[in-house]
Homo-oligomer: A and B are copies of this chain.
Amino acid sequence: MTIDLRLEPNEMPLLMDLYHLTMAASFFEEGLNDTACFSMWVRRLPPSRGFLVLAGIERFLEALEEFRFDQAALEFFDSLKLFRKEFLDYLATLRFDGEVRSMPEGAIFFAEEPVLEVRGPLIVTQLFETLALNQIGMASLIASKAARCFVAARGRRLIDFGLRRSQGADAGLIAARSSYLAGFDGTASVLAGKRYNIPLFGTMAHSYIMAHESEREAFASFARNFPRLTTLLVDTYDTLRGVKNACIVARELAREGVRVQAVRLDSGDLLELSVAARRILDQEGLNNVSIFASGNLDEYKIDGLLRAGAPIDGFGVGSAMVTSSDLPCLDAVYKLVEYGGKPRVKCSIDKATLPGSKQVFRALNRDGKFCGDILALREESAQTIMQEFAPPPERVEPLLTIQMQQGRRILPRPSLNDARSLFLANLKALEPRYKDLTNPAVYPLKRSAALNAMVIEQRLWAQKQQS
């Protein structure tokens, strides 16, 4: 029996929609399998969001390397009574042997910019739509949300507390990884710590306090058992009395060489309580005991608390970050932009696409700050594009690079720490006005002249498709 909680290895290629299979079958019957290029981008962002952070590319590439349908999958397809044996035999041998280009894991990007392009035979490349959107979409969504918390926290410690409220097991893992990538200091999730080597942090639950006959007894025994890792949760009963109890215990245990690191506030008015708790701690000579806060926090609340001067040294961020609660999914798409060497477009209302395989060029000024991007055709050169910026920038960088060729990775796998470093460098290079939490400036993005010309040509082509 398959335990339902687990995603078995052979199930990964089945993360697709039925129509990917029926379209594959139809293409197979028609003999349509020329080289296609699919491009993934985010269509638009709400005005409160100034930038996005790319994540999930690594997982996607790993999945492509291992992509194959096993016997169980083929038997399931057969049971649907939709497919001919010849097609199922073909699926049994199907592998991805194409090319993947992408921006690097951890890169800052903007709406409308392709972050991924998959090129290869039509049948196999179209199968990856759902996998790409599900995995890269989710990982980037959370990295982008976590980056906002990182901006708001102004260097205070940030810990992912969200596994319990994340949307399933996979979401919890992705959120821990994406938030660490985007500047968080660690996670409470044991599995994420094990898998990704992310620093683990933890305090204590209310149940720990409640299982003891008194709050002080609970504090003291935990601190003795973890003399290097003690954050005391003070709000189980009355918060400020809890802080006072923490002080009593901290001073008593200091004699034994045990150090209480912090108190944790998890409810009530965090500004008021943190000010009062700081005062109590300082009066008791416990200036080195820090204050950690949690409880329905997001970037807006963290920003508000710190602007108001709350003496909080670290934040545990859960539900709002791990679900990106104000924007719980990205309007990301994976669309055919080229087939058989020719550009393709769709013209659906509000959902039109731009034709052709592309490159995103980013202009940097003398200080290394980002000063605008140009969306160009793949074959355009940085030199030509340089001319299209006004004023001309110090230099121009192409953001999409080849990751896989003939189905194999050609670049070394970046570690999570590499991606984190890249994110931190990118964030530094992004001017503060684009990082505003509520009303960010719109980052300059324009299309190259060659892309614009192709758009016009393609609109005419599309009209002919319906006659």
Contact = CB atoms under 8 A, between A and B. Distances in A.
Interface of A: 2-9, 11-12, 14-23, 25-27, 29-30, 32, 36, 38, 58-59, 62-63, 66, 73, 76, 80, 82, 122, 126, 129-130, 133-135, 137-138, 141, 161, 163-174, 188-191, 193-195, 200-216, 221-222, 225-226, 229, 235-239, 241-242, 245, 266-269, 295, 319, 322-325, 328-330, 332, 335-336, 339, 344-351, 462-467
19 contacts: A14-B194, A17-B202, A18-B188, A18-B201, A22-B204, A26-B226, A73-B194, A134-B172, A167-B167, A206-B335, A210-B339, A237-B347, A237-B462, A237-B466, A239-B348, A242-B466, A266-B351, A268-B349, A319-B328
B170 A329 contact: no
Given A7-B173, A171-B171, 4 more contacts: A4-B59, A26-B208, A137-B165, A242-B466
B5 A63 contact: yes
A18 B202 contact: yes
B163 A4 contact: no
Given A194-B76, A346-B210, A6 B5 contact: no
Given A22-B202, A167-B138, A168-B138, A12 B3 contact: yes
Contact of A19 (B38, B126, B205, B466): B205
Contact of A319 (B195, B210, B237, B329): B329
Contacts of A344: 210-211
Q: How many copies does the complex hold?
A: 2
Nearest to A201: B18
A58 B3 CA distance: 10
A234 to B, nearest CB: 10
A232 to B, nearest CB: 12
A238 to B, nearest CB: 6
Nearest to A206: B346
A211 B27 CA distance: 9
A75 to B, nearest CB: 10
B465 A214 contact: yes
A276 B348 CA distance: 16
A461 to B, nearest CB: 10
Contacts of A173: 7, 168
B167 A171 contact: yes
B82 A15 contact: no
Contacts of A346: 206, 209-210, 236-237
Given A27-B211, A36-B211, A134-B165, A17 B348 contact: no
A347 B126 CA distance: 54
Given A23-B205, A202-B19, A348-B268, A463 B237 contact: yes
- Nearest 3 interchain pairs by C-beta: A18-B202, A168-B170, A19-B202
Most buried by B among A32, A129, A236, A347: A236
Most buried by B among A165, A213, A347, A463: A165
A2 B194 CA distance: 12
B82 A165 contact: no
Contact of A237 (B20, B216, B465): B465
Contact of A241 (B2, B26, B226, B466): B466
Given A19-B204, A59-B4, A202-B22, A212 B32 contact: yes
A253 to B, nearest CB: 14
A238 B328 contact: no
Nearest to A123: B211
A466 B245 contact: yes
A339 B207 CA distance: 10
Given A170-B169, A349-B235, A23 B164 contact: no
